[in-house]
Structure 1
Amino acid sequence: MADIPRIIHYCWFGGSPLGPNELSCIESWKKYLPGYEIKCWNESNFDIDCCAYVREAFSVQKWAFVSDYARFKILYEYGGLYFDTDVELVKPIDDLLSKGPFLGFETDYGNMTSSNMEDGLVMAVNPGLGMGCTPGLPIYRQVLDSYESSSFLLADGDFDRTTVVYRTTKILESFGLNKTKGMQEVAGISIYPSEYFNPKNHLTGEVNFTDNTRSIHHFKMSWFTPQEKFQHSVNRWLLMHGVEETPAKIISVALSLDIKRVIRRLKKKK
C-alpha cells in the first residue's frame, strides 16, 4: 500500500483573512502532524473555471460549495490530507494514516427528527472532518463526476443546496455503506465512527471525548451568511425540541425572512 503524501490541504476562497479560530486549528495540525507541508488553496492557485458548478458557485460567492468540489479534485490529483479550517486535532493520527485512505462519520443532525433521535443511527459521512488518500482514488472520481454533471445555479434562480455531506454519503451508499455504528471499509476507504473526528454534538454543544477521539469539528460556519447562520440556529433549536425536519426548516426560513423585512422597514424610517 502506497503511503499517503505528507501534505495537508485546506481551502480558503473569497480573499478574507483567516481568523483566530482558523489559525488556532491550523496550529493544531502542525503540532500533531509535524513535518507535513500545509498548503492553502484559493482562487489564485485553483482553477475556478474547471467546471460549471465551481464557476457558478464562485460567481455568487458561495465559497463553501466551491471548496466542496475543490477538496476532492485536489486530493484526487495530489493525494494527502484535507481538513476544514474549523477542525482541531487533539491527538496524533499516524496509526490511522498507516491504514490508508480514511473518512469519518458524523451524526446527521440536519436530518434528525423526533422519531429517530433516540436510536442514534442518523449518520452521514462528512469529508470536512478530515480525509486522506493517495492520488487517483477511484471513488473520488465518482464524486467529481457527480459535481461535473451538475449546475450550481438552477433554472428557477435558486442554488443547488445539496451538501457535500449528502452527496458523498449517497455515493458511498451505492458502494455498500451502511448507516450503522462501528468501523466500515467501503471502496478502499476506512470510515471511522463519529467518536474519532466528530465528538461534538452540534445540537447541544456537548463534547464527548473517548480514547479514540482525534479531532473536534467546531463547525464555525465561517462561510455562512448571517441569514444562513440564523436559519441554522433556529433549525437546530427546533429539532432539539422535537419539531420534525421539514416543518423546522420552513419555520427557520420564515423567521429569517420576517427579520429581514423588519430590518428593511427600520432602515426606511431613518
Structure 2
Amino acid sequence: MTGKDIAMRPAKIHFITGLRPDFGGMPFNIVHMLAILSARITYPDHEIFVYYEHEPSGIWWDYARRFVTEVPTVAPTAVFGCPVRHFAHAADVLRLQLLIEHGGIYFDTDTMVCRPIADLPTDVVVMGLDAGSEHSAVGLSNAFIAAPPGAPFLRRWFDGYRDFDARDYVGHSVKLPHALAMAGEPGVRIMSRLAFCYPHNDARSLHNLFARSVDVRSSYSIHLWESVSWHYIAAITPEAIARADTTYNLLARAVLTHFPDSPASPKLWPVRIALDRASLPHAAIDRPAFWYVAFHDNDGAEVARLDADAGELARLAAMPGGELVIERAVPALQPPRSWTVWPTDRARRWLDPLRGQFAR
C-alpha cells in the first residue's frame, strides 16, 4: 500500500491462551487476569479479544472474561506443511495470522501494560528488542506486536515460516524478524529493550521484577517471561501483591484500584478496638507522638497499618469514660483477625504494646 491506501492500526487488542489442554503447565492465573485488566484501563477505547482452543477456568478467568470478546479457535498444527507441535510455536504462528488479518496490538498473557503507545506510529509494525540479558539483544520480542492489518513486514516474516524448524526455539519468532529488519526490510519501527522487555529475563533482572522495586516508567509494557519465571509467578497471590513493594506488585496494585470488585482487590472491613484507659501508662495519653495501629491475618501477618496520629489521640484522651475506642476501615482481602496497638510517648519512645483478637 502507498499514500492514502496505507492502513492504520485499528483499536483492537489480541491475547492468546489455552492452545493445549494443560496450558503448557502454566494455567490461567492472577497475572494473566491482570494482563487483561491492565490492557483494559490503558486502552479503554479498544476491543479486547481472547483466543483459545481450551477455555480457561477459575476465579481469575471468570473475572477477566467480563472485559473481553472470547474467540474459540483451533491451534495451528502446521505452517506451510511444517509440523507445529509446541504450544508456544502454535501461538507464534497464530498471532501473526491474527495481526495480518485484523491488525491491532498483540500482548502475551504474561504482560503488564503500563502506558499507551499513542506516541508511536500506527501505519507500521512496532516491536521492541528482545533482551536475552541486560546487555545482549537476541532479536525482536513477539510478546508485543502492534501492526496495521496486512502489514507487509508481517507478511514477509510469516513467509519465512516456509522453512520452520522447531529445533531453533526462537529462530522464527524472535531472530527472523530481527534479521529482516537488520537487512533493511521496511515497515517496522524498532524500540529499545526498555520499551517492552525490561526488566530482562536473566536471574538478576527477574529478581528486580519480582523481589525488588526498579523504575519502569520508560516502559510501555513489561514482559514477565513466564517460561523462566514461573516459580515467581506461581507464588503471586492477592496477599503477596498487597504486602511486598516489588516492581510487579506496585504495578498490579495500581491496576486493581480500577477494579474494586475483582477477587484480587482488598475490601474495607470496619473494626473497633476498645482499650481500657486505666490499663494504659500515663505517658501513652499525655500528648503522645503517635500510636502504631496494625491489623493481622489468621497467620499473624500484618495486612494493614493505620496509625493514630497526635490529633486523633488528643481527641480520644479528651473523651469521657473508661474506654478509648479506635475505629478503622481496614483494607484487606479477608476480615482481620487480630490487632496490635503500640503506643509511644511525647518523645516518640516506644511503650509496651497491646494486642487483641477480633470476634469471629
Scaled to the shorter chain, the TM-score interval is: 0.5 to 0.7
Deviation at 1:81, TM superposition (A): 0.8
CA–CA distance in structure 1, aligned partners of residues 37 and 97 of structure 2: 25
> Secondary structure at the residue paired with 1:126?
strand
Show CA shifts across 1:227-258 (max 9, x none).
xxxxxxxxxxxxxxxxxxxxxxxxxxxxxxxx
Residue aligning to 2:131? 107
Task: State the percentage of identical aligned residues.
Answer: 22
1:1-270 map, 5 Å? 2-12=7-17, 13-15=19-21, 16=23, 18-43=28-53, 44-46=72-74, 48=76, 51=79, 56-58=83-85, 62-98=86-122, 100-109=124-133, 120-128=135-143, 130-152=144-166, 159-163=167-171, 164-175=173-184, 187-203=186-202, 204=204, 205=206, 206=208, 208-209=214-215, 211-221=217-227
> Secondary structure at the residue paired with 1:141?
helix
* Bigger shift: residues 212-221 or 41-50: 41-50
Against the structure 1 CA distance between its residues 139 and 97, is the aligned structure 2 distance closer, same or farther, given a 3 Å change threshold?
closer
CA–CA distance in structure 2, aligned partners of residues 189 and 52 of structure 1: 24
Q: Which has the larger radius of gyration?
A: 2
> Secondary structure at the residue paired with 2:105?
strand
Deviation at 1:150, TM superposition (A): 2.6
CA–CA distance in structure 1, aligned partners of residues 196 and 170 of structure 2: 22
Against the structure 1 CA distance between its residues 28 and 171, is the aligned structure 2 distance closer, same or farther, given a 3 Å change threshold?
same
Deviation at 1:133, TM superposition (A): 0.9
CA–CA distance in structure 2, aligned partners of residues 192 and 150 of structure 1: 26
> Secondary structure at the residue paired with 2:119?
helix
Taking structure 2 as the reference length, the TM-score comes to 0.48
CA–CA distance in structure 2, aligned partners of residues 88 and 42 of structure 1: 20
Against the structure 1 CA distance between its residues 212 and 2, is the aligned structure 2 distance closer, same or farther, given a 3 Å change threshold?
farther
Deviation at 1:123, TM superposition (A): 4.7
- Which structure would you say has the larger RCO, counting Cα contacts within 8 Å and 6 or more residues apart? 1
CA–CA distance in structure 2, aligned partners of residues 142 and 165 of structure 1: 14
> Secondary structure at the residue paired with 1:68?
helix
Deviation at 1:74, TM superposition (A): 1.1
Against the structure 1 CA distance between its residues 8 and 211, is the aligned structure 2 distance closer, same or farther, given a 3 Å change threshold?
same
CA–CA distance in structure 2, aligned partners of residues 189 and 172 of structure 1: 7
Deviation at 1:90, TM superposition (A): 1.4
Listed as ranges, the gaps of 5+ residues in structure 2 are: 1-5, 54-71, 232-360
CA–CA distance in structure 2, aligned partners of residues 191 and 213 of structure 1: 14
CA–CA distance in structure 1, aligned partners of residues 116 and 170 of structure 2: 32
CA–CA distance in structure 2, aligned partners of residues 69 and 223 of structure 1: 23
Show CA shifts across 1:121-180 (max 9, x none).
54521111x11111111121122112133354xxxxxx45344112222222222xxxxx
Deviation at 1:42, TM superposition (A): 2.9
Against the structure 1 CA distance between its residues 100 and 137, is the aligned structure 2 distance closer, same or farther, given a 3 Å change threshold?
closer
Show CA shifts across 1:78-136 (max 9, x none).
11110111110112222225574311113223xxxxxxx7xx354521111x1111111
The structure with the greater share of residues assigned to strand is 2
CA–CA distance in structure 1, aligned partners of residues 136 and 170 of structure 2: 21
Against the structure 1 CA distance between its residues 121 and 150, is the aligned structure 2 distance closer, same or farther, given a 3 Å change threshold?
closer
Residue aligning to 2:236? none
CA–CA distance in structure 2, aligned partners of residues 223 and 195 of structure 1: 19
CA contact (8 A) 2:52 2:74 kept: yes
Deviation at 1:3, TM superposition (A): 2.5
Letter in 2 for 1:193: S
- CA-atom RMSD in angstroms: 2.8
Against the structure 1 CA distance between its residues 136 and 52, is the aligned structure 2 distance closer, same or farther, given a 3 Å change threshold?
closer
